[in-house]
Amino acid sequence: MDAPPSDELAVRFPGRATARDAAGPSRSGALDAAGPLRPGARDAAGPLDPGARVDVEGLLDGMAGAGSLGVGDERVRDFLGAFGRRLLRPELARRHPELASLGFFLRPRELARTVEETRGGEHVRVPRGLVFHIPPANVDTVFVYSWALSALMGNRNVVRLSSRAGAVAALLVDTLLETLDEADREVAEAVAATQRIVSYGRSDAVTAALSAACDLRVVWGGDRTVDEVRRHPLAPHARDLAFPDRSSFALVLASAWLAASPGTREALADGFAADAYWFDQAACSSPRTVFWVGAPAECDTARDDFTTCLARAVARRGWTVDAAMAVEKRVATYGLAADGAARAIGFHGNAVADVVLTAPELAPRRWLGTGTFAHARIASPAELAGLVRRADQTMTYFGFARAELAELAATLAGRGVDRMVPIGEALSFHRVWDGVDLPAEFTRLLTIR
């Protein structure tokens, strides 16, 4: 996926469909009318071109004349629903379980519920306008969640797909193009006119132009990305929605773990492994530290049993790490020991490493390599109040009732933690993410009295 230089971008969606038109007649000929490409650029793009090329002004011009969508637009819902169904096809879902999650997220009922929640009250929600999305390079599905919700809210969108994006991202774009091909003319026209997935190389000019043109800029990625993107000014009325570096942990009641049946522990270990290993433990919401709640002896026993169960779960799923990752984990864990943060380090094959921390205050937030779990003991959940940081995002848990969690939330009082979800649900994307109600952010409120 080579991206073009300077202020040119490759349009990956709906680029190919348009390029196909140039090569011959097609069902979606209507795209021509609203097509984003200048004739010259289109001629250059063959049917196998990874994306038709266009300069940033051409891209923006092409979208400026686009017809408008409404919040919860039927055409967009129709398109997203059809796209989601494709993702749920068994042969795809088997190979890429994360696509199945995305497919579930896009079920018509889910979409309807999201739209429903934006309605009612004394205000009317209207789209923000043009939304510029910068998703992370390496979690391939994030761009779809971000884009789909924004499109559902009736926005025009430009998604910057990393030129380093992986195979799953390419598969998603292909699936979007197929969906567009199969869509009714009316739906295809509306979507093709208002939605763009593009990629471009290192270019300040393009980022600056898209930043200046958009009404909302959504940056998923690390602190550095957010800082870099923020160098480019937005229009005075526009705003940023930033999702910077976050990290996550698990909270387990040791006595509950020990009392759980073998079947329950096995299921928990499976869920925990999925939370951790799907994105190489590098996703913001993947647990890095497990805080055990209880007396020292029971926490030690529970932790050891947990690690045994986890190693089995990882082996069952066939998750492995390569030699480079194994070395990475040694560097990270030996480093923790050198710093005095690790009392004991254990390796269970290359896939699972556990680190017993010398104190819960020393819980590492940074990524330590896939399948590296720090463990610490605390006497009660309330101790977390002194331990959490603003960057802590997801707390997966086992052994606590909702009332206890609500109490803990009150104790934490916003110092950190945006999500408390059962072990196994760390990666389940929700329209409320990082403490942000995305559909609300993707709209404005219009007052009618």
**Residues at the interface with other proteins (CB under 8 A):** 134-139, 142, 160, 162-164, 166, 201-202, 204, 207, 219-225, 228-229, 231-232, 243-246, 279-284, 322-328, 330-331, 333-340, 342-345, 349-350, 355, 367, 369-370
- Provide the minimum distance between the beta carbon of 113 and other proteins in the complex, in angstroms, as a whole number: 26
Nearer to other proteins, 79 or 249 (CB): 249
- Provide the minimum distance between the beta carbon of 333 and other proteins in the complex, in angstroms, as a whole number: 8
Q: What does the buried/exposed string (b/e) look like for 202-237 if buried means 16 or more CB atoms within 10 Å of the residue's CB?
A: ebeebbebbbebbbbbbbbbbeebbeebeebebeee
- The sign one gets for the Cα dihedral 369, 370, 372, 378 is positive
- Provide the minimum distance between the beta carbon of 147 and other proteins in the complex, in angstroms, as a whole number: 15
- Provide the minimum distance between the beta carbon of 188 and other proteins in the complex, in angstroms, as a whole number: 30
Nearer to other proteins, 104 or 367 (CB): 367
- Provide the minimum distance between the beta carbon of 132 and other proteins in the complex, in angstroms, as a whole number: 11
- Provide the minimum distance between the beta carbon of 220 and other proteins in the complex, in angstroms, as a whole number: 6
- Provide the minimum distance between the beta carbon of 80 and other proteins in the complex, in angstroms, as a whole number: 23
- Provide the minimum distance between the beta carbon of 365 and other proteins in the complex, in angstroms, as a whole number: 11
Nearer to other proteins, 54 or 134 (CB): 134
**Burial class of residue 90, CB neighbours in 10 A (0-12, 13-18, 19+):** exposed
Nearer to other proteins, 33 or 344 (CB): 344
Nearer to other proteins, 26 or 138 (CB): 138
- Provide the minimum distance between the beta carbon of 161 and other proteins in the complex, in angstroms, as a whole number: 11
- Provide the minimum distance between the beta carbon of 248 and other proteins in the complex, in angstroms, as a whole number: 11
Nearer to other proteins, 365 or 415 (CB): 365
- Provide the minimum distance between the beta carbon of 89 and other proteins in the complex, in angstroms, as a whole number: 24
**Burial class of residue 138, CB neighbours in 10 A (0-12, 13-18, 19+):** middle
Token pair belonging to 140: 């391939």
Nearer to other proteins, 126 or 432 (CB): 432
Q: Interior CA angle at 147 toward 275 and 199, to 5°?
A: 100
HEC readout, the chain: CCCCCCCEEEEEECHHHHHHHHHCCCCCCCHHHHCCCCHHHHHHCCCCCCCEEEEHHHHHHHHHCCCCCCCCCHHHHHHHHHHHHHHCCHHHHHHCHHHHHHHHHCCHHHHHHHHHHCCCCCEEEEECCEEEEECCCCCCCHHHHHHHHHHHCCCEEEEECCCCCCHHHHHHHHHHHHHHHHCCHHHHHHHHHHEEEEECCCCHHHHHHHHHHCCEEEEECCHHHHHHHHCCCCCCCCEEEEECCCEEEEEEEHHHHHHCCHHHHHHHHHHHHHHHHCCCCCCCCCEEEEEEECCHHHHHHHHHHHHHHHHHHHHHHCCCCCHHHHHHHHHHHHHHHHCCCEEEEEEECCCEEEEEECCHHHCCCCCCCCCEEEEEEECCHHHHHHCCCCCEEEEEEECCCHHHHHHHHHHHCCCCCCEEEECCCCCCCCCEECCEEHHHHCEEEEECC
The answer to whether 45 and 52 have CB atoms below 8 angstroms apart is: yes
- Provide the minimum distance between the beta carbon of 429 and other proteins in the complex, in angstroms, as a whole number: 12
